[in-house]
Amino acid sequence: TARLKGTRTSQFGPDSLTRVILVTSGKGGVGKSTLTANLGVALASTGLSVGIVDADVFGFSIPGLLGVGGARPTKVGELILPPVAHGVKAISIGMFVDPGTPVSWRGPMLHRTMQQFLSDVFFGDLDVLLIDLPPGTGDVAISLGQLLPQAEVLVVTTPQAAAAEVAERSALVARQTGQSVLGVVENMAGLVQPDGSVLQLFGEGGGAAVAERLGVPVLASIPLSIPLREGGDAGAPVVLTSPADPAAAALLALADRL
């Protein structure tokens, strides 16, 4: 407990045995949070001890995706115990603010919040900590670059060229802080229709293009999926409820590859 409240030291510094993976994207709406939630649940289902920090402060969605929308962390003395959802310990600013109150903070406050999440929340010994970053290259990404220089980064993009270009920039910011880019996940790839044909709603090739420019692999291509979207809306991650769904299968295979 010496490393908890008030010490200002992250539990996840360079000496920590926890693998820290940041999930980033160039822009919002590409499925970054959905991917983070499903990946966390998939990893936990293999017996790993998994935490998720929702660092998407302005657009937090991890509590809802994990089905703990109204949950509050438990305080035991100075300790903040995160809610556990589907085997994952999760913390989000959404668990501290009143619903309906927008979070509009400047950089120093964001930095302090990230510091607190990493130092004052009692995760115990984690095998993996996933961090859902806000889209883009703003204050939070820079703060976490400073706080977690040893972290690895997953870049999420859609197959669309415009999403791919901005995704590359978020990876380059991570590299500037010393973080290593694990690879690219392409989300919202082709939708297999009832007649067997594939609808490429967002085009093709975005994931491969970003991966090539960054010199990293495409780790997964996750198709558009109604069960995945419904699972997110219901707080019941598709990797648990419909593991045979093609998107769920791609997410489970990604968890295996990490």
Helix (H) or strand (E) holding 75: strand 74-76
Taking the least distance from each CB to ligand ADP, the nearer of 11 and 33 is 33
At its nearest, how many Å lie between ligand ADP and the CB of residue 220?
Answer: 11
How many residues in the shown chain lie near ligand ADP by CB under 6 A?
18
Residue number with the shortest CB distance to ligand ADP?
31
Beta bridge partners of 191: 199
Q: Distance between CA 128 and CA 147 in Å, rounded?
A: 16
Query: From residue 168 to residue 187, what is the string marking binding to ligand ADP with x (rule CB under 6 A)?
Result: -------------------x
One of 22, 30, 39, 185 touching ligand ADP (CB under 6 A): 30
Tokens of 93: 């600013």
Q: Is 219 in the site for ligand ADP (CB under 6 A)?
A: no
Q: How far is the CB of 40 from ligand ADP (least distance, A)?
A: 13
Nearer Cβ to ligand ADP, position 23 or 80?
23
The whole-angstrom separation of Cα 133 and Cα 56 is 5
Structural contact between residues 24 and 141, judged by C-beta atoms closer than 8 angstroms: yes
Nearer to ligand ADP by Cβ, of 80 and 220: the residue is 220
Give the three-class secondary structure for 246: helix
With the C-alpha atoms ordered 136, 163, 102, 116, is the resulting torsion angle positive or negative?
A: negative
Q: Which of 28, 149, 203, 235 binds ligand ADP (CB under 6 A)?
A: 28
SS3 172: helix
Nearest distance from C-beta of residue 229 to ligand ADP, angstroms: 4
Paired strand residues for 52: 90, 130
**Cβ distance to ligand ADP smaller for residue 81 or 249:** 249
Instruction: In whole angstroms, give the CA distance from residue 207 to residue 200.
Output: 13
Residue from 8, 29, 243, 253 that binds ligand ADP (CB under 6 A)? 29
Residue from 189, 191, 192, 132 nearest 158 by CA:
189
Over the Cα atoms of the chain, what is R_g?
Answer: 17
The answer to whether residue 221 forms part of the interface with ligand ADP (CB under 6 A) is no
The one segment of 24-32, 146-154, 172-180, 234-242 that binds ligand ADP by CB under 6 A: 24-32
Instruction: Determine if 61 is a binding residue for ligand ADP (CB under 6 A).
Output: yes
- Report which of 42, 22, 50, 47 is spatially closest to residue 152, judged by C-alpha positions: 22
Q: Which of residues 222-251 bind ligand ADP (CB under 6 A)?
A: 222, 224-225, 228-229, 232, 247
Annotated binding site for ATP: 26-33
The footprint of ligand ADP (CB under 6 A) covers 25, 28-34, 61, 187-188, 222, 224-225, 228-229, 232, 247
